[in-house]
Amino acid sequence: MTRVGKEKPGRIRRVLRASLFLLGLFLILSVAQVALLRVVNPPFTGTMISNWVADKIAGREAHWPDPEWRPLRKISPHLRRSVLAGEDQRFTLHRGFDFVELNQAFQEVLSGRRVRGASTISMQTARTVFLWSGRSLLRKSLEVYYTVLIELLWSKKRILEVYLNTVDWGKHVVGADMASKKYFQTQASHLTAEQAALLAAVLPSPHQWSPEHPTGYVLERQKRILSDMMKMPLL
């Protein structure tokens, strides 16, 4: 065997060892990160960073949102129930993945109908807090991984609290308190049922729909959410 032939297996082993080391390091750091955010409120999110970078690259004015964190008890019960009614009605029953919704979405794909969203609140929280904007197989794989972690390490109340404080409610509008002040000139704790349902109604597409100028479809969603919200548990 030539010298080059002898060196090749050694090079492969070194690459494998380095890859395993980096994978192990990522697993340790990601678990520590999620465990820390169980008790510490995230000062920023992956989505905030990626949006800021995207604005810079595009030459737009980059704006860094400064939302005020609200504990779950200081967010209107109407809003807590509304987002469950509108986004994830089986939130307290699943462990991060709603296989009923996933199956229904799959059936819609097969039939050629409009595809519904099947992301749970846990999945949305994972990608908002830990990942970047955009679509790719890597991002989806990491979303699944972080969803498993937060379901293992956080309570359902903590997941909902982080979600409500980090979810995007429009351009440069982050979290329930900022959305309440912008759209209704009130605090998140003072939202009425109608206001909360309208905020929840735009969440599937907050950059396309707005509580300030709701479309007929958004108003129909608001009605459905108002009808369903009292069936939801209060976390």
Q: Domain containing 57 — which CATH number?
A: 1.10.3810.10
> Among 41, 49, 50, which Cα is nearest to 163's?
41
Are residues 63 and 17 part of one domain?
no
Q: From first to last of the 235 residues of the chain, give the pLDDT tens digit.
A: 555 455 667 788 888 899 999 999 999 999 999 999 999 999 999 999 998 898 889 888 878 888 899 999 999 999 999 999 999 999 999 999 988 887 777 677 676 665 556 789 999 999 999 998 888 899 999 999 999 999 999 999 999 999 999 999 998 899 999 999 999 999 999 999 999 999 999 999 999 999 999 999 999 999 999 999 999 999 9
Would the pTM count as exceeding 0.75? yes
Encoding tokens for residue 134?
A: 């955009």
CB burial of 47-83 (b: ≥16 within 10 Å; e: otherwise) equals bbeebbeebeeeeeeeeebebebbebeebbbbbbbbb
Parent domain of 21:
1-36
**Exposed, middle or buried by CB within 10 Å (0-12, 13-18, 19+), for 134?**
exposed
Find residue 168's DSSP bridge partners. 174
Are residues 32 and 140 part of one domain?
no
Domain count, the chain: 2
